[in-house]
Structures are given as C-alpha cells and as structure tokens.
Amino acid sequence: MRIVGVTNRLLCGGENGFLAQVKKIAVSGIDAFVLREKDLSLGRYEDLARKVLDICRPGNVELILHTQVEAAIDLNAKSIQLPWAVFKTGAFISADLARLRDRGIAFGVSVHSAEEAAEAERSGAAWLIAGHVFVTDCKKGLEPRGLEFIGSVCRAVKIPVYAIGGISEYTIAGVEKCGTEGVCIMSSLMESPDPPALIAGLRSRLGAACFPNPCAGQGSGLKEGA
C-alpha cells in the first residue's frame, strides 16, 4: 500500500521551514508527494517545484504536481493531480487534456462520489484521490463521507484509488480493507516532528485486524494486493 504526502507549506512557517520538513519526509519511507500549493503564481510554483524535485530525486520519491498544467509541461513532469473543478473546466477538456496526453503526462483527479470517479476514469485519469473519508481539520465543519463511500469509489473503477482525510494509525486499516491502492496525508505529515516515525506507525497498521470488515456485504469489488 502506497503512502502519499500532500504538501501545505503554510503549516511549516514559510518556505524555509517547508523545505526543511520536506527533507525529513523524503527520507521517511514515503512513496510520493503531491505539491499542492494552490495560492502560488505559476512562476513561484515552478521555482518551488524545482527545489522539491531536487530533494526528492536522491531518494526516488515521486513528485506529483497539482493543478498547474503549464508547470507540468514546463518541468517535463511525469504526473499531475487535478481538483475536480479544474478537471471539469471547458479549457481542460478541450485543450489541456490533449496537451498532457501528447507529452505522456499522467493525471489523477480528486473525486467525491462514485459517479465522479467513473467519469474521471472514462476521460483517462490514471488514479483517483477520494475524500474526505474521516473527520479532518482540513475540512472543518464538513461531514466525512466514511468507509462506505470509499468502498463505492473502489468498486466503480479499475484504476487505483487513494483515500484522503483523517488518515491515521487508527483509520488506515479500514480504508485498506475497502480496496484502496494507498492513502494521502497532509496536516499530520507537514506538522510532524518525526516523519519517519509517523510513516512507520502507519505501515505497522497495514493488514491489521478491523472487525467487522468495514466494506463487507458491499459487493466483490475489492482489489487484490491493495
């Protein structure tokens, strides 16, 4: 099961603190980063992406860009994550989708229902991030969608699904049993004083007992080996 970090430099006291935290995370055993810094201009985003790439490259940690299609093209990125609202814009459907395909840049989509998941898959998404599953400070006041939701998304598609929202040592086994390929974590990772210990703790819970099976009785769509 893959563990993917989602960045938020504002939780690290600015760029210097953020880059210092990224260095810790890059050697923590994490599989990939999504560079989600939505407030930055294209130029500032590209500058930051280059710095993060330099940190990630030695440990072979995958860097997935976010939203900025131009940055993905300029930096010859391998992959990009798209919010649902960006994915659904006319400009993306008519032009950006073809540009990504022409350059061999894979894209994932953030989804919030099984119907959105199926639509994204039909349009060529290589993976999905689905949430938010559990209560999380990132979505204060919003009702979590729960394990039944993440199970329905996994059954609706054949591409990998990553759960996001409230992922911890106490919740990771549940989403694993629903058939997810992996999980995404943001706040706990960005604020952790010891990212290697955090990641080790999450991995220690994979395959742990979770009774009853949170997705039992919901069909036979669980993915093998997830």
Domain annotation covers residue 177: yes
pLDDT at residue number 92 = 83
- Beta-sheet strands, E only, within 7-146: 32-35, 62-66, 79-82, 106-111, 127-131
Domain that holds residue 76: 2-204
The domain tally of the chain equals 1
> How large is the C-alpha radius of gyration of the chain?
17
Domain annotation covers residue 226: no
Give dist(CA 9, CA 191) in Å, integer: 10
pLDDT at residue number 207 = 80
Burial 30-62 (b: 16+ CB within 10 A, else e): bebbbbbbeebeeeebbebbeebbebbeeeebe
Domain annotation covers residue 100: yes
Domain annotation covers residue 187: yes
CA dihedral 198, 206, 149, 226 (to 10 degrees): 120
pTM of the predicted model as reported, rounded to 2 decimal places: 0.90
Domain annotation covers residue 141: yes
* Residue whose entry in the numeric block shows the structure tokens 């330099």: 54
Tokens of 164: 């996001």
pLDDT at residue number 208 = 67
Q: What is the pLDDT along the chain (226 residues), one digit of tens a residue?
A: 999 999 999 999 989 999 999 999 999 999 999 999 999 999 999 999 999 999 999 999 999 999 999 999 999 999 999 999 999 987 787 889 999 999 999 999 999 999 999 999 999 999 999 999 998 777 666 788 999 999 999 999 999 999 999 999 999 999 999 999 999 999 999 999 999 999 999 999 998 655 444 554 443 222 333 2
DSSP state of 223: P
The CATH number of residue 192's host domain is 3.20.20.70
pLDDT at residue number 142 = 76
In this structure, the number of other CB atoms found within 10 A of the CB of residue 105 comes to 19
| Cβ(25)–Cβ(186) below 8 Å | no
**Inter-axis angle of helices 15-26 and 42-56, nearest 10:** 30
Cis peptide, bond prior to residue 212, ω within 30 of zero: yes
Domain annotation covers residue 218: no
Domain annotation covers residue 216: no
Domain annotation covers residue 222: no
